[in-house]
């Protein structure tokens, strides 16, 4: 389920919050008047803050946070903001209703979402923050043959103000990611990548790292046979549970090579190649929501000849009439005699 309305998502979070004795705090109000709500629980010694749907069309982290909220015996203390960008979540857009990318608003804090995030952070005083995002299907580990289902990043602190606190924060983030990288290798070998920690001054990962609080940016992608990302969400939920059970930060391995040695995140792969009677076309997934209805459309794009492809189909007709930029529905594609269904519209 890639899209749900804000109200339906909030209903799902609240239902879990009631069962698990989570307390609810309104930490802000979006441009269109929707509440930005944090859910808090626990007296555990590790203090973890996480948010999802900062970009409204990236719901995998949301599903993982709900999985965590459903765990009965959590051992850490949490502040979760599962729908940080309520207007973007409702419209299924990356940006908020003012057209602001909240993850580029960490310094200026013009948006209500950035203000709410910083206020919640200051009130809760976390020791680790998790910034959960989705990335497009086009990403893969460099040299690899399958999509990057998980791309990990321990961002840098501010290079102009180097200090021990921000270095220690980045180091703790790397140690968590090294632990996760080892876990992911078991079931997702070939589907895990690392981001270049190039400094983005306006992003929240860098901003919190600079404050001396360990900060992780986590990007989930498609699975090779799971374009809806449900198995990826379940795996992320398991990683969060694994971290919860860690007795203390000192129990993390000092060796971060499992993270450092991951292949770098690379793009652009071909998403869906269709070999037809007179050649080949490349289709890229294009998701949108119109009047509350989710559509997975496919955009005819140029072929990346040296890059891997996630899906290949064959068609007896000629498709040479389909120009670059043409948008196709799955029904139109089925009319070419191709029966593929990616499970996205369920």
Residues near Zn ion, by CB under 5 A: 55, 58, 133
- 255 vs 227: CA distance, rounded Å: 33
**Is there a cis peptide before residue 324, judged by omega within 30 degrees of 0?**
no
- Considering the complex, state which of residue 94 and residue 174 has its C-beta at the smaller distance from Zn ion: 94
CB of 288 to Zn ion, least distance (A): 16
- Token pair for 58: 């990236």
- Which residue reads 């102009």 in tokens? 160
- Considering the complex, state which of residue 133 and residue 172 has its C-beta at the smaller distance from Zn ion: 133
Alpha-carbon radius of gyration of the chain: 20
How would you class 224 by CB atoms within 10 Å of its CB: exposed for 0-12, middle for 13-18, buried for 19 or more? middle
CB of 200 to Zn ion, least distance (A): 12
- 79 vs 49: CA distance, rounded Å: 5
What residue number has its CB nearest to Zn ion? 133
CB of 120 to Zn ion, least distance (A): 18
- Considering the complex, state which of residue 110 and residue 303 has its C-beta at the smaller distance from Zn ion: 110
- Considering the complex, state which of residue 54 and residue 274 has its C-beta at the smaller distance from Zn ion: 54
Roughly how many angstroms between the first and final C-alpha of the chain, as a whole number? 6
CB of 55 to Zn ion, least distance (A): 4
How would you class 189 by CB atoms within 10 Å of its CB: exposed for 0-12, middle for 13-18, buried for 19 or more? exposed
CB of 133 to Zn ion, least distance (A): 3
CB of 58 to Zn ion, least distance (A): 5
- Considering the complex, state which of residue 22 and residue 208 has its C-beta at the smaller distance from Zn ion: 208
User: Which strands make up the sheet holding 192-194, listed edge to edge?
Assistant: 23-29, 35-41, 77-81, 47-51, 128-134, 214-220, 150-153, 192-194
Q: In 261-283, which positions are buried (b, 16+ CB within 10 angstroms) versus exposed (e)?
A: ebbebbebbbbbbbebeeebbbb
- Considering the complex, state which of residue 173 and residue 274 has its C-beta at the smaller distance from Zn ion: 173
- Considering the complex, state which of residue 74 and residue 132 has its C-beta at the smaller distance from Zn ion: 132
- Considering the complex, state which of residue 95 and residue 120 has its C-beta at the smaller distance from Zn ion: 95
CB of 266 to Zn ion, least distance (A): 18
- 244 vs 75: CA distance, rounded Å: 6
- Considering the complex, state which of residue 28 and residue 56 has its C-beta at the smaller distance from Zn ion: 56
- Token pair for 341: 């269904």
CA distances from 202 to 95, 108, 144, 238 (A): 15, 8, 31, 30
CB of 174 to Zn ion, least distance (A): 21
The DSSP symbol for 99 reads S
CB of 323 to Zn ion, least distance (A): 30
- 292 vs 3: CA distance, rounded Å: 9
Residue 278 in 3-state DSSP?
coil
């Amino acid at each position: 389920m890639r899209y749900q309305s804000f109200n339906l998502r909030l209903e799902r979070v609240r239902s879990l919050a009631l069962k698990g004795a989570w307390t609810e705090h309104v930490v802000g109000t979006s441009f269109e008047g929707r509440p930005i709500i944090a859910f808090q629980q626990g007296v555990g010694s590790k203090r973890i803050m996480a948010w999802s749907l900062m970009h409204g069309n990236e719901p995998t982290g949301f599903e993982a946070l709900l999985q965590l909220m459903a765990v009965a015996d959590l051992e850490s203390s949490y502040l979760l903001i599962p729908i940080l960008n309520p207007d973007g979540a409702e419209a299924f857009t990356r940006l908020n209703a003012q057209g602001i990318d909240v993850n580029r608003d960490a310094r200026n804090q013009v948006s209500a979402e950035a203000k709410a995030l910083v206020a919640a952070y200051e009130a809760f005083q976390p020791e680790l923050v998790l910034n959960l995002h989705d990335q497009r299907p086009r990403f893969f580990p460099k040299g690899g043959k399958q999509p990057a289902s998980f791309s990990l990043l321990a961002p840098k602190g501010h290079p102009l103000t180097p200090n021990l606190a921000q270095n220690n924060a980045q180091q703790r983030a790397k140690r968590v990611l090294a632990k996760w990288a080892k876990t992911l290798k078991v079931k997702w070998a070939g589907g895990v990548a690392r981001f270049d920690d190039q400094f983005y001054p306006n992003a929240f990962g860098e901003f919190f790292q600079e404050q001396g609080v360990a900060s992780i940016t986590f990007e989930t992608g498609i699975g090779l046979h799971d374009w809806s990302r449900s198995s990826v969400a379940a795996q992320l939920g398991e990683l969060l549970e694994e971290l919860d059970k860690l007795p203390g930060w000192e129990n993390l391995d000092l060796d971060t090579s499992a993270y450092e040695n991951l292949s770098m995140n690379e793009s652009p792969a071909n998403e869906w190649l269709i070999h037809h009677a007179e050649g080949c076309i490349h289709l890229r997934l294009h998701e949108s929501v119109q009047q509350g209805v989710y559509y997975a459309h496919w955009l005819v794009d140029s072929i990346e000849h040296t890059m891997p492809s996630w899906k290949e189909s064959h068609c007896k007709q000629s498709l040479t009439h389909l120009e670059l930029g043409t948008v196709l529905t799955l029904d139109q594609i089925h009319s070419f005699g191709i029966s593929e269904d990616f499970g996205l519209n369920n």
